[in-house]
A and B are shown apart, each in its own frame.
Chain A
């Protein structure tokens, strides 16, 4: 069992809305280079945890450290700059933009995005854009979407849209990828496309933290599992351990 230092630590993080404690004193570590699954019944607070990590919500208390740096209090784009990216359950692709453009938006193009350099350094802008396009096409090939590069994102089939949402965050070169329900809404055939893809991300040296609903897929997908219930961490450990625990299964399917 790898005893590498965790790449991300969530410590006693809490978030309440009105009287509802969505997340309460939640603490867990994310080991590097593995897939950690965040599981639990509906309303357990899993997406809230993602929102807290990525700065879309501000935690009431606690600490979220990534590679030693505190993420709490940062705006979402600042969190991304530190190397933490996420997908959304409802994808949030730029439907009216092309597949290539969706991925290009994930690539680093600071010279082209800065209005001053855009006009004063056209040479560098051109070179950067060309490099970004190549990188984007490479990413698309990795995800087997290269043939659809110039189609609108909204014209893709749902499984391919899910791949696209992963492709664009992959293009950011972030080291830790937060996947929000990467397998939801997919039939068995499409799952064959997605599940191996998630494994390949890790083979590329990424760390993955994913939210997963499907208990059966958990063992296939995750190495480590964190079980959340009513905003608290109920259990954590290897996937096989957790999925076989009858008490947890009851919580998951019960009530």
Chain B
């Protein structure tokens, strides 16, 4: 039972990293991305590959993951963020599809559907993190660090500029803010942090394959952010705690597997619609006075 709770907490830590980094983009910058699972996957594969093929340790893997994630985001962001916001939705949608294609078909590198196994455990200050309890500490520590980084960003002049850009980018330009640069920077940071989550995941489960990084996964991460609330940085954390408990709850209802997967999706999709009607600001958001 304790091991089970530990596993839950590790996953909460990982999804906190994913959801908080996505919130930087969706909640603070007002840029919608459907590619966060692709970013998650990039982090996982990059980290796993440098560990398996180059023998690089966990920390090196984290760094590589962040860099590769950042580059992918910049590659997509630079052309599409110069134009109106909806272009990025399409571009991120496309990125998600392409990255998944790469994972599935560049078999020389990624082993395709078979995935990568035998990813080594992390070594932290000489200690090997080889059981769920030690992993809980690592996961929550990294989650806390990610949260702290995001907090510093949002509380700064940069964060203020970000919010201004989201609310009215023309006014922001008139006051000297380089709106395109701000958007590219935040997209890059959001992806770098999201990729860290992937790295953590890869070294925890020690086996990764493409099916963990699909569009459905992107939507799940979006649901975490929407449920918890985009206004507060802590919102997605609440979302993570709640939504990660759902698959476990569903298991109790003894639904056959073929139906369980679509049912989960219906639940997440339904939650998105419901929240837009009932509480668009999410659980932690301040209830807005409904404008006329």
Contact = CB atoms under 8 A, between A and B. Distances in A.
- Chains A and B touch each other in the complex, with CB atoms below 8 Å apart: yes
Interface of A: 54, 56, 75-77, 80-81, 85-86, 88, 92-97, 101, 104-106, 109, 111-115, 118-119, 125, 128-129, 132, 168-169, 172
Given A92-B170, A92-B171, A115 B164 contact: no
Given A54-B174, A76-B174, A77-B179, A118 B163 contact: no
Contacts of A132: 157
5 contacts: A76-B174, A94-B171, A97-B167, A105-B175, A129-B156
B143 to A, nearest CB: 18
B81 to A, nearest CB: 14
B162 to A, nearest CB: 10
Nearest to A112: B157
Interface of B: 149, 152-153, 156-158, 160-161, 163-164, 167-168, 170-179, 185, 189
Contact of B163 (A80, A92, A94, A128): A94
B147 to A, nearest CB: 15
B176 A114 contact: no
A56 B158 contact: no
Given A77-B177, A77-B178, A93 B171 contact: yes
A80 B176 contact: yes
Contacts of A106: 175
A168 B175 contact: yes
B173 A76 contact: yes
Nearest to A82: B176
A184 to B, nearest CB: 18
A85 B152 CA distance: 29
Contact of B167 (A76, A94, A113, A129): A94
A96 B167 contact: yes
B176 A97 contact: no
Contacts of B156: 112-113, 118, 125, 129
Contacts of A80: 173-176
Nearest to A125: B156
Contacts of B170: 56, 88, 92
Contacts of A92: 168, 170-171, 174
A96 B289 CA distance: 12
A115 B167 contact: no
A119 B152 contact: yes
A111 B164 CA distance: 17
A81 B178 CA distance: 10
A66 to B, nearest CB: 15
A36 B175 CA distance: 22
Contact of A118 (B153, B168, B173, B176): B153
B193 to A, nearest CB: 12
